[in-house]
Amino acid sequence: MPHTYEYPRPALAVDCAVLGFDEGDLKVLLIKRGLEPFKGKWALPGGFVRLDESLDVAARRELAEETGLTHVFLEQLYTFGEVKRDPRGRTVSVAYFALVKLGEQQVQAATDAQAAQWFSAEQAPALAFDHARILETALGRLRNKVRYVPIGFELLPRKFTLTQLQHLYEAILGRALDKRNFRKKALALGVLEATKEQEQDVAHRAARLYRFDEETYAKLVKKGFNFEL
Amino acid sequence: MPHTYEYPRPALAVDCAVLGFDEGDLKVLLIKRGLEPFKGKWALPGGFVRLDESLDVAARRELAEETGLTHVFLEQLYTFGEVKRDPRGRTVSVAYFALVKLGEQQVQAATDAQAAQWFSAEQAPALAFDHARILETALGRLRNKVRYVPIGFELLPRKFTLTQLQHLYEAILGRALDKRNFRKKALALGVLEATKEQEQDVAHRAARLYRFDEETYAKLVKKGFNFEL
DNA sequence: CCATAATAGTGTAGTAGAAACACTAAGGAG
DNA sequence: CTCCTTAGTGTTTCTACTACACTATTATGG
């Protein structure tokens, strides 16, 4: 069946706000644009959607092409469709929100990106298009979501200490948390499994390493638990 | 500056999941399609985005054109972009979520809709395209959102009784609530203003009418209050 | 090897909010 | 004036959140 609708169409892009956590604060992954417009400026990785791929697939493809990242946590964020947001002409962008375990994969620029680099998310450089707004939206989503869903584990290595987890939450929420209360609550969720291992190469008492137990988590979700932390 | 990207583009549509509340349960506004594909089937109101209008504007325009509704609460919901979701060819749809105060406006079908009609949201008829999934997503958003934001007032007349409010929350959350606790909590929010009026034409003790005080609400939001109910 | 520095790890008491629960008040209908 | 229907109201119990300070362990450096 042919399309009966024959008006001109906006271009359709995907852009990814990729967040990581390191050295006590949130990072965002930016690429340096190799093409006009905004050539030489920092931007979120992204590109145009092809006819034969879904939006999710397009987002993963662009992310892999421009930064080398694969197998990251990815979900749709918001669709930005102001008329003048792209100087080339009408372009609608479906923004995605990605979380990566920093240190497990190296990023490498490719295709039309000159460079890919992590920046502090709170003080990123000026961005191309309306990407600053997309980034703001992503940080807001993270702040909200982390209160109800144990999503923070997507930002930590597979094994982590409770102090690392606490620092992550403090960075996301922007305020200090009480150590004893935090540990009590975190363990009470029932999705942290203590390993027999400890932190290595530290100049003080070594902390126990925990891992996030996805199986237990999945079971609890089915029972309707919610996971405020 | 010309577009450098010249691949074929998906068509871009908006669709609105319009929810209302009446007779103790949630309703959704559907239109009967006047054109192929799915001619004669029920669907969410929606249509294609024009080059000179933002997504929000497109959603309001289509809603007004097909159902006559204006000045409704409207926010973006999710963007649906599976490859095969439209038999005419690749079409991406930005879905919107609308809440209307039922009884304040009459709906009337127009343009390419043969009819516009309210249905029970939980047991709507079979829908065109992937609109059933969009409706599910909208109901989920409502259920979630209503727990943190006093959004329910968008679904009630300007003046309402506490019992009406409670029934609304019960319909959204799908469970019974305790009357005394509910009233205590609702009033404790500080955004309900008692009017001097009462319910009319009821065959029993008349209930006091309240109204939602948007000004107080705006002030409290600024102070960072949250509004679980 | 002893002292120091750094972070890990732990419990309790007080307070505030959530949940459970049943009767009296008011008004219209017959 | 009786009955039916819904409005409106407090208290107690239990649970969850908050505030708060010391001991334990390990590496380092004198």
Tell me, what's the pLDDT at B2?
Answer: 46
Alpha helices in A47-118, H assignment, sequence order: 55-67
**pLDDT at B166 exceeding the cut of 90:** yes
- Residue A205's pLDDT band, with cuts at 50, 70 and 90, is very high
pLDDT at A4 over 80: no
Q: What is the mean pLDDT of residues A111-116?
A: 82
Is B35 in Cβ contact with A4 (below 8 Å)? Answer: yes
Residues B32 and B139 in one domain: yes
How confident is the model at residue A86, as a pLDDT?
Answer: 97
Q: How many domains does chain B have?
A: 2
User: What DSSP designation does A71 have?
Assistant: S
B91 with A54: CB under 8 angstroms? Answer: no
Q: What is the dihedral of CA A166, A168, A170, A174, to 10 degrees?
A: -170
Q: Is-contact A68 A41, C-beta < 8 A? A: no
Q: What average pLDDT does range A65-88 have in this prediction?
A: 97
Q: Region B7-33: what's the mean pLDDT? A: 95
Q: Which range marks the domain in which residue A203 is found?
A: 152-222
A59 CB-contact burial (10 Å; exposed 0-12 / middle 13-18 / buried 19+): buried
Give the per-residue pLDDT at A172. Answer: 97
Beta carbons of A148 and A154 less than 8 angstroms apart = no
- pLDDT of B224 strictly over 70: yes
Among B101, B125, B145, the domain-final residue is B145
Biggest alpha carbon–alpha carbon distance for chain A: 70
In chain B, residues with a C-beta closer than 8 Å to the C-beta of A9 are 9-12, 51
pLDDT digits (tens, 9 = 90+) for B199-210: 999 999 999 999
Q: Which of A52, A53, A54, A86 to mutate to test the interface with B (most CBs of B within 10 A)?
A: A54
**Overall average pLDDT of the A103-112 stretch:** 79
Residues A157, A70 share a domain: no
Residue A3: inside a domain: no
Give me the pLDDT at residue A38, please: 96
Q: What percent of chain B has pLDDT over 70?
A: 98
| A203 has a pLDDT exceeding 80 | yes
Taking the CA atoms of chain A, what radius of gyration do you get in angstroms?
A: 20
Is A181 part of any domain?
Answer: yes
Tell me the chain A residues in contact with residue B11 when contact means C-beta distances shorter than 8 Å.
Answer: 3, 5, 9
**A54 pLDDT above the threshold of 70:** yes
For residue A192, is it within any domain? yes
In this structure, are A111 and A41 located in the same domain? yes
The answer on B157 and B130 residing in a single domain is no
- Give me the pLDDT at residue A105, please: 84
Are B82 and B118 within one domain? yes
Cβ distance B54 to A83 less than 8 Å, yes or no, reads yes
**Residue/partner pairs of B56-62 with CB below 8 Å, 24 or more apart:** B56/A81, B56/B96, B58/A81, B58/B14, B59/B14, B59/B16, B59/B94, B59/B96, B62/B14, B62/B16
The string of pLDDT tens digits covering residues A141-151 is: 999 999 989 99
Percent of chain A with pLDDT over 90: 83
The answer on B54 and B25 residing in a single domain is yes
Please give the mean pLDDT across all residues of chain B.
93
As a whole number of Å, the CA-based R_g of chain B is: 20
Average pLDDT over residues A198-203: 90
Task: Indicate if the pLDDT at residue A128 is higher than 50.
Answer: yes
Does A180 have pLDDT greater than 80? yes
Contact A51 B88 (CB under 8 A): no
Task: Write down the pLDDT at residue A116.
Answer: 94
B50 and B96: one domain?
yes
Query: Does a structural domain hold residue B47?
Result: yes
Using pLDDT thresholds of 50, 70 and 90, give the confidence band for residue B186.
very high
According to the model, what pLDDT value does residue B4 have?
54
> What is the C-alpha separation between A152 and A144, in angstroms, rounded?
12
Task: Judge whether residue A93 has pLDDT over 60.
Answer: yes
At A198, which CATH number? Answer: 1.10.10.10
pLDDT at A155 over 70: yes
Q: What is the pLDDT of residue B103?
A: 81
pLDDT number for residue B214 = 94
Together in a domain, B46 and B138: yes
Here the CATH number for the domain that contains residue A110 is 3.90.79.10
Residue A228, in any domain of the structure: no
- Say whether both B160 and B91 belong to one domain: no
- Give the pLDDT band of residue B113 (cuts 50, 70, 90): confident
Residue B181 has pLDDT above 90, yes or no: yes
Q: Which pLDDT score is estimated for A1?
A: 43
Cβ of A223 near strand C (distance < 7 A): no
Cβ atoms of residues A187 and A210 within 8 Å: no
**pLDDT(A76) > 70:** yes
B133 lies in some domain: yes
| Whole-number pLDDT of residue B132 | 98
Asked whether residue B156 falls in the same domain as residue B126, the answer is: no
**Element of type H or E holding A29:** strand A25-33
Q: Which residue has the tokens 């967040």?
A: A19
ipTM of the complex: 0.93
In this structure, what DSSP letter does residue A90 have? -
Q: Which two tokens stand for residue A157?
A: 């290595």
Q: Do B83 and A7 touch (CB under 8 A)?
A: no
- A23 vs B88, more confident: B88
Q: A29 near A118, Cβ under 8 Å?
A: yes
Model confidence band, residue A2 (pLDDT cutoffs 50, 70, 90) = very low
pLDDT of residue A164: 96
> For the residues A119-137, what does the mean pLDDT come to?
97
Chain B's closest residue to A85, CA to CA, is B54
Q: pLDDT at position B5, please?
A: 53
- Inside any domain, residue B229: no
Residue B227 lies in a domain: no
Q: Could you read off the pLDDT of B41-70 as tens digits, one per residue?
A: 999 999 999 999 999 999 999 999 999 999
What whole-number distance in Å separates Cα of residue B182 and Cα of residue B199?
20
Query: Could you give the CA distance from residue A197 to residue A210 in angstroms, rounded to a whole number?
Result: 8
B107 and B177 fall within a common domain: no
Q: Are strands B208-212 and B159-160 parallel, antiparallel or unpaired?
A: antiparallel
Whether residue B113 is found in the same domain as residue B197: no
Provide the CA B187 to C1' D20 distance, Å, integer: 34
Confidence of residue A88 (pLDDT cuts 50, 70, 90): very high
- Which of A145, A163, A194 terminates a domain? The answer is A145
Rounded Cα gap, residues A133 and A121, in angstroms: 12
pLDDT-derived band at B212, boundaries 50, 70, 90: very high
Q: Which of A169, A68, A73, A172 is nearest to A118 (CA)?
A: A68
pLDDT in tens, B68-95: 999 999 999 999 999 999 999 999 999 9
> Given B103, B120, B145, which residue is the final one in a domain?
B145
On strand D, nucleotides with any atom < 7 Å from a protein CB are: 4-11, 17-21, 24-28
Strand D nearby residues, CB < 7 A: A 178-181, 184-185, 202-206, 228; B 161-163, 179-181, 183-184, 202-208
Going from the C-alpha of B14 to that of each of A50, B45, B112, the distances in angstroms are 19, 9, 15
